[in-house]
Structure 1
């Protein structure tokens, strides 16, 4: 489900110029972007500031999976329009409620069934979610039906709007299924009056664009379902974007959830939402609605694990940028291959999200190397993403301007799994000869925990030279790079905890429902000017 990032959160998280790593004190909240007076990916040493002591490692809200009773209570709030900031999206809470329905009894089971029912269940819906008048004859083609009512608050804004919805959904189907090669949604039998895929138009309010709900299990962990879209995307409720634009991106996002149910409806939630948000870019690349989630991506929150599912900040939406990074290098088919590896049918891989991605990336340098280079490249979005030149420049964790007199600086930190921290060294006074070098000593955890360190020399001509530091079994390594201030603007060091080790099936919201084994690992880097 697509949700808005509030203006307050966006203001708190976004700032800065385009393209370059920011180097400024971060005293408000750790790991979020701030201003940087640079451009075109060039770091100006005059802008380097020595930072205040590093803030404490942030703590995410508890990543434990809620109980059936808790899920029911959350679903009631969300569909009643009373969602709390900490509540998940309607799509995933309805998925969870559907999966946990068998654990409920009596009145609670009946409440769950009412929430999972289609809008055509009418006024008997306890949440007031059903249509209050009889629906008009649905508008159908050979694979889709759009359901709506002719009068009342749920009615479309004009007689031709249902046909517009049908055309948009059909175009989305063509792109995702016919052109990109994904499976069509699982057929639902006679639900909705025929076996075609059903979309319902309903007044959802201003925070909820649309959602999809699982309905009937098919083979393995695949299921049929239906989608609900806002009936008009009225400007009074959805001030960001035109009704047509909001319809297109919502249709792409939500239809892809229905496609995901043809692979594994119980897949890791971070992968479900991040790939659905990535799909928006394939469907409506000029709309750029998914940029509202950039503030909660790893570009600006690199200290938050890639697989985190946050009810408060929505990191799972922001990390569509990880898939954008990978597909810009290896093609859009990489996401399809990953879903096939994650699928549960006999011809699929049957893996959870990270092992599925590891399999796909095995002959492309591996997940470890790709993730490390993604993290380092996030300092200069223009170098990392097709549209990155339009993204604000992020902050780094710390920075130091070195000179002939002040030659050394050490930074240390703790990093959670699938997260990173970046530091910058700038060449200052007296370092104006080719002989000057920056010697970097990296200290990390043992190699079995998958640490990495990536050094990028940011030249004043705008070019970048990327080097992976070779770490020994103990996680330590050294590298020496040019540090002549006539050619080098800055040197960034990105320390990466690339661990994908978990105790799986521990009823969490992280990858494989597991608990990570390698959080809060210690890293350090010491830079020293040498000849």
Structure 2
């Protein structure tokens, strides 16, 4: 079964018979939506925009990086108001991140702005006096509580759940999420809130959030370092009129898992790099509600299908930070489910934590596994065959490559060149064509990359006709150049892919961008080239 899938997908990468014309792909809170089955169709607009951006010398798809986080405290307040009122623009972040940003900048506000921020950060039980119009307008019913969670709701009005049984189901769902994340996976529990909800238990509120806003968690009180207590709000019913995609139960399960993990993150570092916060929360959905597959809607903006966009991108105009849950899925499939917890421990702000931003935290946990450069390079190359690299990958559509070429006895060489941004990649495929049936034929691969100090890498994968693969990491010298040679007989080889990788993690930090460490990358638009040449030895 696996051999058949491997060969079929390898051929799909290069477009079957249309090998002489390279198939060019792109270089270049939970938003509403449902798992997609048309990933390749959805990526076309991204690919076209990214190619145009390359022609203009930008090297990035629109909405990619670097976006700058230069909002003032009043602007952050205005953003949070829009998001929670249901009037979010395409450039606004999720509700959780909008409230996190407001929490971080609250101390810079004064007077009416400060009161407005406090109203947004307040719980729905603030009541009708909430000048943002977000509080409950009728007294709440008696909360439903167990030993660790209280579920708050109102018995009448627009915010009321459809039945008391649905409210109890919400409590049971959130308790199951707690059991999985805290008891089962060993993450920290949300921090205590000094009885803000009437007791010391973690509080969850049901409220009619309006179309498209599934739920959020808000940091509320700073505890130690950059840790904070918080609470969560879920939509009261996930009615089909407001949430046409998915059943109410599926939407509840996915939202509860995603948002509760944000509350857990506040116990490590509420100010962590936003791409890590959202990508790991989306990864957690797979632990909580794997059967729902809601996170597949973000495939077009994952590095499987958009490898030209840096891994640490947090975009206000696209969903890259959600799509890159696949990176954590890849890592945990290979190194164990505990790797994400170890990364958050390294990213945590307490004395016993690592105190690192996202990328140094990753480097630390991958140090004993070959290092981030090697692991990331294999991730990028492995994404060409999702069926072999993800637990459910056989259901994923095959991605496209940057270019492909059939080499023949009378046309033996092809060179590809590109520019690649940090933590991004570009893949090319060579196929043995006519006249290469003898066993003696080889493909000599020569890579020219940037200086080794910038962490370039190249991975050559030989897809054999029997369905097996041979993976080889090209050794690059100090100048970033390297070469290797692999079998290339059309009797035994279906295709050879070369994945060029810019694994640079060099930044000038604290530059108010939305990338890792708020920094500006030092090694973007790095020049790479690969030449494949048919030889007899």
Normalised by the length of structure 2, the TM-score is 0.90
Give the Å deviation of 1:236. 2.0
CA separation of 1:19/1:149 partners in 2, compared to 1, >3 Å: closer, same or farther? farther
Q: Is the 8 A contact 2:27 2:307 kept in 1?
A: no
Q: Is the 8 A contact 1:407 1:528 kept in 2?
A: yes
Mapped partners of 2:410, 2:73: distance in 1: 63
Match of 2:13 in 1: 22
Match of 1:115 in 2: 120
Give the Å deviation of 1:214. 0.3
Describe the SS at the equivalent of 1:100. helix
Mapped partners of 1:23, 1:229: distance in 2: 45
Match of 2:60 in 1: 58
Match of 2:187 in 1: 182
| 1:51-80 alpha-carbon deviations (Å, 9 max, x no partner) | x99953224254211221221111111111
Is structure 2 residue 242 aligned with structure 1 residue 237?
yes
Q: Is the 8 A contact 1:438 1:530 kept in 2?
A: yes
Match of 1:319 in 2: 324
Q: 2:481 aligns with which of 476, 479, 490?
A: 476
CA separation of 1:526/1:250 partners in 2, compared to 1, >3 Å: closer, same or farther? same
Q: Is the 8 A contact 1:133 1:151 kept in 2?
A: yes
Give the Å deviation of 1:312. 1.1
Instruction: Give the aligned length.
Output: 499
Is structure 2 residue 385 aligned with structure 1 residue 380?
yes
Is structure 2 residue 349 aligned with structure 1 residue 344?
yes
Is structure 2 residue 60 aligned with structure 1 residue 78?
no
Is structure 2 residue 402 aligned with structure 1 residue 400?
no
CA separation of 1:485/1:33 partners in 2, compared to 1, >3 Å: closer, same or farther? farther
| 1:228-273 alpha-carbon deviations (Å, 9 max, x no partner) | 0010111222222211111111111111000011111111101000
CA separation of 1:371/1:77 partners in 2, compared to 1, >3 Å: closer, same or farther? same
Structure 2 counterparts to residues 141-156 of structure 1, below 5 A: 141-156=146-161
Is structure 2 residue 454 aligned with structure 1 residue 463?
no
CA separation of 1:206/1:29 partners in 2, compared to 1, >3 Å: closer, same or farther? farther
Structure 2 counterparts to residues 40-439 of structure 1, below 5 A: 55-56=54-55, 57-59=59-61, 60=64, 62-65=66-69, 66-439=71-444
Moved more, 138-147 or 57-66: 57-66
Mapped partners of 1:22, 1:461: distance in 2: 17
Where structure 1 has 5 or more consecutive residues not aligned to the other structure, the ranges are 1-16, 36-51
Q: Is the 8 A contact 2:10 2:463 kept in 1?
A: no
Q: Is the 8 A contact 1:21 1:396 kept in 2?
A: no
Describe the SS at the equivalent of 1:484. coil
Normalised by the length of structure 1, the TM-score is 0.91
Give the Å deviation of 1:123. 1.8
Is structure 2 residue 529 aligned with structure 1 residue 524?
yes
Describe the SS at the equivalent of 1:192. coil
Give the Å deviation of 1:20. 6.4
CA separation of 1:96/1:518 partners in 2, compared to 1, >3 Å: closer, same or farther? same
CA separation of 1:53/1:455 partners in 2, compared to 1, >3 Å: closer, same or farther? farther
Give the Å deviation of 1:26. 6.1
Mapped partners of 1:488, 1:127: distance in 2: 64
CA separation of 1:183/1:54 partners in 2, compared to 1, >3 Å: closer, same or farther? closer
| 1:435-457 alpha-carbon deviations (Å, 9 max, x no partner) | 11111110000000000000011
Describe the SS at the equivalent of 2:415. strand
